[in-house]
């Protein structure tokens, strides 16, 4: 039996972000049994949110540590080294328009580090930091939107919104890659070792 194309992404998400493999199987069986794609995706999103929210609730101190780790890394590497050292150097050796290509690399590394330091709850902890980033972005994005609506010259709403959104997405990608790597490594271990680690 082949896998339906619309369920590939859903199953992938559940495998990465949901701690219970049976959920993906249940949803796949129901979808093949005649449920709509809308129902399937609603259940996928609910499952991912439910598991992340529960993990964050159960491990509050670990969540605080994940957010602190991300904040420390962003302050040290992104706001200090990248802005004060790498950016001026880059502008002197390469076209400034290409700087965003390397500016997002530390954000991916940030997601990776949070995931790496908070196993086996890496995806939930990366999600917690993503929520924190979104929460911190509300003020600046709202301010830029208000300026744009008021017709203030030089308003940078689109830049503010898109750069912060891409930052969050790139950071999540870094964390997801870390979790994916862990799952691949766990899959290569003999079953006895996998059971002992579970």
Partner 1 sequence: MTREQVGKLELMVLLALLRVGHDAYGVPIAEEIQELGGKVSIGSVYAALDRLERKGYVSSSLGDPSPERGGRAKKYFHVTAKGMREVHDSQRVLTNLWRNLAVPKGETA
Residues lying near partner 1 in the complex (CB under 8 A): 1, 3, 7, 11, 18-30, 32, 42-44, 46-51, 54
Q: What angle do CA 6, 9, 10 make, to 5 degrees?
A: 85
Q: Which is nearer to partner 1, 7 or 167 (CB)?
A: 7
Q: Which is nearer to partner 1, 24 or 66 (CB)?
A: 24
The pair of structure tokens assigned to 182 is 């862990």
Measured from the CB of residue 6, what is the shortest distance to partner 1 in angstroms? Answer: 13
Measured from the CB of residue 24, what is the shortest distance to partner 1 in angstroms? Answer: 6
Going by C-alpha positions, the residue among 11, 8, 3, 16 that lies closest to residue 184 is 16
Q: Which is nearer to partner 1, 55 or 74 (CB)?
A: 55
Q: How far apart are CA 79 and CA 50, in angstroms?
A: 33
The Cα-based distances of 34 to 4, 28, 38, 74 in angstroms read 12, 10, 12, 46
Q: Which is nearer to partner 1, 33 or 154 (CB)?
A: 33
Measured from the CB of residue 41, what is the shortest distance to partner 1 in angstroms? Answer: 12
């Amino acid at each position: 039996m082949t896998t339906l194309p619309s369920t590939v992404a859903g199953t992938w998400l559940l495998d990465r972000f949901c701690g219970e493999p049976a959920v993906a199987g249940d949803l796949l069986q129901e979808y093949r049994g005649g449920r709509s794609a809308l129902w399937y995706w609603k259940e996928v999103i609910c499952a991912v949110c439910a598991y992340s929210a529960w993990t964050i609730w159960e491990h509050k101190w670990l969540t605080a540590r994940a957010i602190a780790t991300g904040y420390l890394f962003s302050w040290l590497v992104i706001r200090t080294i990248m802005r004060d050292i790498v950016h001026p150097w880059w502008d002197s050796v390469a076209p400034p328009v290409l700087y965003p290509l390397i500016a997002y690399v530390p954000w991916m590394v940030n997601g990776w580090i949070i995931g790496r330091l908070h196993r086996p709850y890496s995806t939930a902890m990366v999600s917690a930091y993503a929520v924190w980033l979104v929460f911190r972005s509300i003020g600046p994005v709202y301010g830029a939107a208000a300026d744009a609506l008021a017709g203030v010259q030089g308003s940078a709403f689109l830049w503010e919104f898109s750069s912060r959104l891409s930052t969050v997405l790139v950071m999540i990608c870094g964390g997801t890659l870390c979790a994916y790597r862990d799952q691949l490594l766990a899959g290569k271990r003999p079953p006895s070792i996998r059971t002992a680690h579970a």
